[in-house]
Amino acid sequence: MRVYEDGGRGGLYSISKLNDHFIPCDRMHFNLTPIKVNNSTKLDEKGSYFRAPPASVLNKQPSHWFQGRHRGGLVIKCKAAIAWEKLKPLSVEEVEVAPPQKGEVRIKILATGVCHTDAYTLDGHDPEGIFPVILGHEGGGIVESVGEGVTSVKEGDHVIPLYIPQCYDCKFCKSPKTNLCGRIRATQGKGVMPDGTSRFTARGQKIFHFMGCSSFSEYTVVSEMSVAKVNEKAPLEKVCLLGCGISTGYGAALNTANVPDTVAALVEMTDGGCDYTFECIGNAKTMRQALEACHKGWGESVIIGVAAAGVEITTRPFQLVTGRVWKGSAFGGFKSRESVPKLVNDYMNGKVMVDEFVTFMKPLAEINEAFDLMHQGKALRTVVTM
């Protein structure tokens, strides 16, 4: 028997290990640390918050383990990597996470990828960049609590936050021609929740959200439109990458360019130009080169990389008049809430590669090293575990 102190509630809760599962006798032990106890043990009346168990432990829990064991309307104190200003290392420190409001979901993040888009904002290239902010948009976690009116997910569900929401009702969501959603775009771009406020506070001041996700925090709050329930058997430290990177590249070929057969397309590339090209680094020069490398009459060039603010692209009109197509792709063209669960199942069935893209695993305390590895070109993806 192991006993945990819940700093937020100030009580002792017993945990029994049975068949490789930690079965709680009372409340969830999020943010708890094991302590030695005896009959005379008394808790510190002041209470304090502790680091959460690692993803390797929480990933073993069955969904029902979490149901009914949340902090409800309480503010949660936890660790987060905060970007206080551009071009400065992230600061891992305590943050307060307010409870979810109507239509919102609070998630215990277990793992998150570090993406070039995070660096794009941190390095000051993002025209919508605003500080201080909690970055991260490639996370995986477990629902801790939900706000009023939330029906698509519940406490204990394994989920992936989505930087492209899906409300199902706006003209974008109803159109088969795009995967964009216009419902909460305005507020998301300003770093706040749909009601115009933030759920994060640190050092007594408001901390902004990022891309509707903010997965560089042990807990985050997102709109219900920005979360997808996924297979609970899937390892969150791997499938979190389906929240951005892998889906973006895979979908650009599968959906945006609609490549029928990758091998056949590669064979055809040498005969008068490429059938399909993909620009992935956000460089205007290579965007033009990728278009002009396409075969006239039917070649398609897809822009995936994000260029710096103010950068413009140019080409000769002749390139387009002669049948080449130039287009962009966000999140691989996938309708987020309906597609991500399917992608996770495809991964579980061996149809989508994910493991091969995880180069390093780092704890939250070493998140700046993850950025260094990315800038040095040493990592396809570094996954940070909480």
Residue 259 near residue 266 (C-beta atoms within 8 A): no
- Which is catalytic among the residues 9, 27, 51, 185? 185
Q: Which of 211, 209, 212 is nearest to 224 (CA)?
A: 212
Buried/exposed code over 332-349 (b: 16+ C-beta within 10 A; e: otherwise) = bbbbbbebbbbbbbbbbe
Find the catalytic residue in 29, 106, 125, 138: 138
Q: Is 51 a catalytic residue?
A: no
The active-site residue out of 27, 51, 96, 170 is 170
Select which of 125, 158, 209, 381 is catalytic. Answer: 381
Look up 138 and say whether it is catalytic: yes
Instruction: Give alpha helix (H) positions in the chain.
Output: 55-58, 116-122, 171-174, 185-188, 236-239, 245-251, 262-268, 284-292, 317-321, 336-348, 367-375
The 3-state DSSP class for residue 79 equals: strand
- Choose the catalytic residue: 70, 71, 104, 117: 117
User: Could you tell me where the beta strands, DSSP code E, fall in the chain?
Assistant: 2-6, 11-18, 21-24, 33-34, 76-83, 91-97, 104-113, 133-134, 139-146, 158-161, 200-202, 205-207, 219-223, 227-229, 276-279, 300-303, 325-328, 358-363, 381-385
Strand, coil or helix: what is 268? helix
Return the closest-CA partner of residue 150 out of 116, 106, 198, 96: 106
Q: Catalytic residue at 78?
A: no
Does 185 qualify as catalytic in the annotation?
yes
Q: Any idea which residue has 């215990």 for tokens?
A: 108
- Catalytic annotation present for 117: yes
The catalytic position among 2, 9, 27, 116 is: 116
Q: Is 137 a residue of the active site?
A: yes
Is-catalytic flag, 274? no
Catalytic hit among 78, 115, 274, 294: 115
Nearest to 384 by CA among 113, 152, 164, 120: 113
Residue 154 is given by DSSP the state -
Sign of the four-CA dihedral 160, 163, 168, 169: positive
> What residue type is 306 in one-letter code?
V
Instruction: Tell which residue, 171, 23, 244, 206, has the closest CA to residue 97.
Output: 206
Positions marked active-site:
115-117, 137-138, 167, 170, 173, 181, 185, 244, 381
